[in-house]
Amino acid sequence: MSKRDYYDVLGVGRSASAEEIKKAYRKLAIKYHPDKNPGDKVAEDNFKEAAEAYEVLSNPEKKQRYDQYGHAGVGSSAAGGGYGGGMNMDDIFSQFGDIFGGHNPFESFFGGGGGGQRQGGRRVAKGSNLRIKVKLNLEEIAHGAEKKIKVNKQVPCKTCDGTGAKDRSSVSTCQTCGGAGQVRRVTNTILGQMQTTSTCPNCNGSGQQITSKCTACHGDGVVRGEETITINIPAGVSDGMQLSMSGKGNAAPNGGIPGDLIILIEELPHETLKREGNNVVYDLHLNFIDAALGVTAEVPTIDGRAKIKIDPGTQSGKLLRLKGKGLPEVNSYHRGDEIIHINIWTPKALSSEEKIILERLRESPNFKPQPGKNEKSFFDRMKEYFE
């Protein structure tokens, strides 16, 4: 059975914003949540399918690959190894702790919980994401690059190992929730008793209390610091693309889960080459004598310089192609081409001798324009090369 389109699963259009995608997923999560549909296998499958769709469409990098290649572009999630194919409910609740806040969807949807994830029923705080910009030239984009970036961020406190406590004896079980991280409340309604679960207000879901705070971090478990991070950027990225490094963002309070590092790609302009998708374009200027007689010309490429043959009688606007001399696609063996646009250079100033020579040639039949009926316009040629 083939997978459904992720946009169809969430009921949103392909131009939907991140917030619209999140709202659509929340709506389905509430509708098919296992607490609301106990023992309903169909609801469980729909719940998992929605989680799989959200996992891809909420990630800018995965969403971009999915928009370009469909299910084949998002790896294991598209091949049945995602939520619908192998992960259980606990995996989903752990992955989207900031959405659910536990197994009760109404807790985080309507203000009952904060960002974090569950471990053994307890809420574990998650650090905030960091965003940085990495500038790449065309050569680095073509071959991939390794960048070492110094990032100022929240790091675990070395004095208390990120616990926020003065020492091990300064941590005790929360008296309000008994270490569960959650408190349960039973309310009498016209339909009978209703039990709700919410994050413990005393320990914020951690299940523990600090009786004596660390003097270095004042009980937060994190301090400002600097970390040198090695970023391996794949070949073929483009301007505005976002990459994500899990766990490289800000450290979380009290030994929680670190946030992610979001890397925004900025493409630096090349001195002579212009990018058009995965192709690169170079403007080659020839004098009309070389264009008329033919010549061997040298042109720049991403990998160095290359020699090309210009046939006699080459017209201005002609496009030549160097196969495979463009940029690679991300996670693909396919590579674009280099397109060479021929421009015939007309001199603006002539000596007296040059004018005499050209005047002699002015009336020559071969110097009168004689365009063929089958010759394509410049726009037709460009359209043909980039379709």
Query: Is residue 119 annotated as involved in ligand binding?
Result: no
User: Are 203 and 118 spatial neighbours (Cβ–Cβ below 8 Å)?
Assistant: no
Query: Is residue 174 annotated as involved in ligand binding?
Result: yes
Q: Which residue has the tokens 């800018």?
A: 60
Tell me if residue 383 falls in helix, strand or coil.
Answer: helix
Query: Is residue 226 annotated as involved in ligand binding?
Result: no
Q: Residue 212 and residue 176: Cα distance in Å, rounded?
A: 18
Query: Is residue 160 annotated as involved in ligand binding?
Result: yes
Query: Is residue 205 annotated as involved in ligand binding?
Result: no
159-175 burial, b if ≥16 CB within 10 A, otherwise e? ebebbbbbeeebbeebe
* Nearest in space to 243 (alpha carbons), one of 134, 115, 92, 94: 134
Query: Is residue 200 annotated as involved in ligand binding?
Result: yes
**Which helix (H) or strand (E) covers residue 261, if one does?**
strand 261-267
Q: Which residues contact 155 (CB under 8 A, 6 or more apart)?
A: 222, 223, 224, 225, 226, 227, 251
Would the CA dihedral through 268, 272, 276, 279 be positive or negative? negative
Query: In angstroms, how far apart are the furthest CA atoms of the chain?
Result: 107
Query: Is residue 32 annotated as involved in ligand binding?
Result: no
Query: Is residue 214 annotated as involved in ligand binding?
Result: yes
Q: Binding site: what residues are annotated?
A: 157, 160, 174, 177, 200, 203, 214, 217
Q: Binding site for Zn(2+): what residues are annotated?
A: 157, 160, 174, 177, 200, 203, 214, 217
